Structure 1
Amino acid sequence: MNTTGRDSEVRSATADREIAISRLIDAPRELVFEAFTEVRHLSKWWGPEGFTTTTRSFEFRVGGEWVFVMHGPDGTDYSEWISWIEIVPPERIEMLHGEYRGDPNAFESVLTFTPEGKTTRIEMLTVFATKELRDEAIEKHGAIEGGQQTLGNLAAYVAEVVRDGAAG
């Protein structure tokens, strides 16, 4: 079934509210997916350079939540909340991300994991409720650079897991 026309319409309808980030990761898709789905992995790489993460609660299932605090390099704490909307192992994760449950400024992200030989292409498409919220995320919070750094941290982490043979 060809949905290209519909996809193009949907894409153009949200283009001014989107951030898209992609990275090729030198690890098998199953491991990259696992690094996103198990808290023992997430806490070791999640966030931009210099950030650490403390998980308050984590339940990876549709409707489940991840409640955590990101600790900035300047000592600032950022309360975060994610709810899982769709999970298709090891291909796709859709989530709602805000500062807290019910956050009116929460945004949706879709992560896709595509095998490319022995590597994995991860694509993160984030759609904000308004163009203004997207622009604020970019300008005030460095969302593009932070997203690229986060995927860089993921790449470094899974490379270490592969090297150490600690997958699974």
Structure 2
Amino acid sequence: MSEASNNAGSPWQSWPLDREIVLSRLIDAPRDIVYAAWSDPEQIQQWFGPEGMEIETHEINLTQGGRWRFDMVTTDGMRYSNRMVFLSLEAPAFIEVEHGTDQDDDPGRFRMLVTFDEQSNGKTVVTLRQMHPSKEQREGAIGFGAVEYGGQTLDKLARHVAKVAR
């Protein structure tokens, strides 16, 4: 069997990996607690976003088809509007959203898949996968700081979950 026919039908054969940003973090808490931090409206507002950013929520409905409209506000008052539309949630395994600015038909929006993998030691691996519509948009997001800011967000999640799991 040839290599090409062996991979026929594989999603990896045609998936444009150069459009992804993938971040992962081991969290010292059970999967259900980590998933709840992402799916509970009260909790997500406490920790989400990079260091130094506060969240101001305008609307929050963390169910399939629901939206979370919010601003990330810096210490000097700069505002970044955000909208997440929740496409699919399967507790406690994954959450899939469309994320962009808080405007209809935002050309910069991207798909984000967050997975929660429980380890045999009771810890959870959280993987955050951003899937951008083009290689150029991915490169722009990286240039803006998506990797650094995403890492800071996962650090804040770990700190939040450590408090909740006590």
* Aligned counterparts of 1:75 and 1:159: Cα–Cα separation in 2: 29
Give TM-score, length-normalised by structure 2: 0.90
Select the structure of larger CA radius of gyration: 2
- 2:66 aligned residue: 64
* Aligned counterparts of 1:19 and 1:4: Cα–Cα separation in 2: 25
- 1:92 aligned residue: 94
- How many percent of aligned residue pairs carry the same amino acid? 37
> What secondary structure, in the 3-state scheme, does the structure 1 residue paired with 2:34 have?
helix
Give TM-score, length-normalised by structure 1: 0.89
* Aligned counterparts of 1:111 and 1:26: Cα–Cα separation in 2: 17
CA RMSD of aligned residues (A): 1.5
Q: Which amino acid aligns with 1:21?
A: L
- 2:4 aligned residue: none
Q: How does 1:74-93 map to 2 (within 5 A)?
A: 74-93=76-95
- What is the CA distance between 1:74 and its match in structure 2? 3.2
Number of aligned residue pairs: 158
- 1:138 aligned residue: 142
Compared CA separation, residues 111 and 50, structure 1 to 2 (3 A): same
- 1:127 aligned residue: 131
* Corresponding residue to 1:112 among 111, 115, 118: 115
- What is the CA distance between 1:60 and its match in structure 2? 1.3
Structure 2: segments with no counterpart, 5+ residues: 1-6
Q: Which amino acid aligns with 1:48?
A: P
> What secondary structure, in the 3-state scheme, does the structure 2 residue paired with 1:22 have?
strand
Q: After the TM superposition, which parts of structure 1 deviate over 3 Å for at least 4 consecutive aligned residues?
A: none
Compared CA separation, residues 16 and 42, structure 1 to 2 (3 A): same
Does the aligned pair in 2 maintain the 1:106–1:128 contact within 8 Å?
A: yes
- What is the CA distance between 1:4 and its match in structure 2? 9.8
Alignment pair present for 1:8 and 2:35: no
- What is the CA distance between 1:73 and its match in structure 2? 3.0
